[in-house]
Amino acid sequence: MQLQPVHPPVVLRRLVGALLLLWLVLTITFALIRLAPGDAATFLVPPSATAADVARIRDELGLDRSIVVQYAHWALALLRGDLGESFSLHQPVSRALAQALPVSIGLGAASLALTFLVGVPIGMIQAVRRGRIADQLLTVLTTVVYAAPSFWLALALVAVFTYGAAAWGLPPGVRLPAFGLRSPGSDLHGTAAMFDLIRHAILPITILSAVGAAGVARYARSSIADVLSQDFVRTARAKGASPRRVYFRHVLATVLPALVVLFALSLPGLVAGSIFVEAVFAWPGMGRLMVNAIVARDYPVVMGAAAVYAALVLLANLAGDLVLPLVDPRRRA
């Protein structure tokens, strides 16, 4: 199979379109959060502060100027690549994002890989064994997990693998930590620190992957089942192709483009979905940064986080568009 690259002008046009859309998203977000009653100043002052104190802080943060002026300031700074200074964290927004983003991306990427590595084979087994006992059991399992909120699953797993494992005297290898990225007060280096991180990551990644894999398996099952009932599959079988060849060369190749698009579109959802898992496991990722910033009316951080999320979505869409012709010859213009 010869891979043909997409035309550069097409890529450029999509990129420009994506940037315009990003700008529109950020402007809408800017308008939305400024419509909210109450602003950062009221959250930053001590309870004993006078109205004059609040006014002074509002002046310092530039919140007393008109919304149009504030928008212009923010937009010009953004064009220079400056996301501003966080109101509540006392550090540049870019630094706060740079600390939080790797946590969420790591969590999201590991879960995304597992989601498809587990979900697609499950869907394939179900489609091949359609109506049999294996399919029925897996259907029940995936549909139930698909209906479960991740924060509830997280609590259930913490109850079993953190508290339960300790109470039942299980070996330490099965006891999994329920909070944070690393053991508090530990002074680990090298491989020991790595193992510590992995132990902390097992529960969050398991939950995000399980919920994702259930959805992917449902999708894969129905699309593979559709393909299996088509004439070209019957023809391939009639011509004596082995089941392995039929499933991988004919069936999987047909559903692959749809799965690739699903893969690209899943990344932003996964990173956003980690909000709940981060909340339960106290992981210092994008979700926690964003929720805390919204509650504190920390506008620059909310805008910065929204920009990152929107950029992720647009990049994922773009990546899906660009990769599609590589896996689907019909999409090569």
**What dihedral angle (degrees, nearest 10) is formed by the CA atoms of 31, 34, 35, 36?**
140
What minimum distance in Å lies between the beta carbon of 312 and other proteins? 8
295 is a site residue for other proteins (CB under 8 A): yes
215 is a site residue for other proteins (CB under 8 A): yes
76 is a site residue for other proteins (CB under 8 A): no
Q: In this complex, which beta carbon is closest to other proteins, that of residue 205 or of residue 270?
A: 270
143 is a site residue for other proteins (CB under 8 A): yes
Amino acid (one-letter) located at 56: R
What minimum distance in Å lies between the beta carbon of 105 and other proteins? 14
246 is a site residue for other proteins (CB under 8 A): no
Neighbours of 67 (CB within 10 A): 12
- Interface residues for other proteins in 118-137 (CB under 8 A)? 130-131
- Choosing from 5, 13, 163, 232, the residue that interacts with other proteins (CB under 8 A) is 163
Amino acid (one-letter) located at 284: P
Distance of CA 132 to the CA centre of its chain: 34
Q: In this complex, which beta carbon is closest to other proteins, that of residue 30 or of residue 247?
A: 30
226 is a site residue for other proteins (CB under 8 A): yes
Q: Which residues contact 218 (CB under 8 A, 6 or more apart)?
A: 123, 142, 143, 146
Distance CA 102, CA 46 (A): 33
What minimum distance in Å lies between the beta carbon of 277 and other proteins? 9
What minimum distance in Å lies between the beta carbon of 42 and other proteins? 14
**DSSP states of 249-315:** IIIIHHHHHHHHHHHHHHHHHHHHHHHHHHHHHT--SHHHHHHHHHHTT-HHHHHHHHHHHHHHHHH
Distance CA 240, CA 285 (A): 53
- Choosing from 11, 88, 109, 146, the residue that interacts with other proteins (CB under 8 A) is 146
43 is a site residue for other proteins (CB under 8 A): no
- Interface residues for other proteins in 12-31 (CB under 8 A)? 21-22, 24-25, 28-29
62 is a site residue for other proteins (CB under 8 A): no
Binding residues with other proteins: total (CB under 8 A): 65
315 is a site residue for other proteins (CB under 8 A): no
Helix (H), strand (E), coil (C) string for 116-178? HHHHHHHHHHHHHCCCCHHHHHHHHHHHHHHHCCHHHHHHHHHHHHHHHHHHCCCCCCCCCCC
266 and 115 in contact (C-beta within 8 Å)? yes
What minimum distance in Å lies between the beta carbon of 106 and other proteins? 17
Long-range contacts of 7-10 (CB under 8 A, 24+ apart): 7/333
305 is a site residue for other proteins (CB under 8 A): yes
222 is a site residue for other proteins (CB under 8 A): yes
Q: How buried is 146 (Cβ within 10 angstroms: 0-12 exposed, 13-18 middle, 19+ buried)?
A: middle
What minimum distance in Å lies between the beta carbon of 4 and other proteins? 27
Backbone phi, then psi, for 203, in 5-degree steps?
-65, -50
Instruction: Tell me the per-residue interface mask from 253 to 272 with other proteins, x by CB under 8 A, - otherwise.
Output: -----x---x---x-xxxxx
Residues at the interface with other proteins (CB under 8 A):
21-22, 24-25, 28-29, 32-33, 35-37, 130-131, 139, 143-144, 146-152, 155-156, 158-159, 163, 167, 208, 211-212, 215-216, 218-219, 222-223, 225-226, 258, 262, 266, 268-273, 275-276, 279-280, 290-291, 294-295, 297, 302, 305-306, 309-310, 313-314
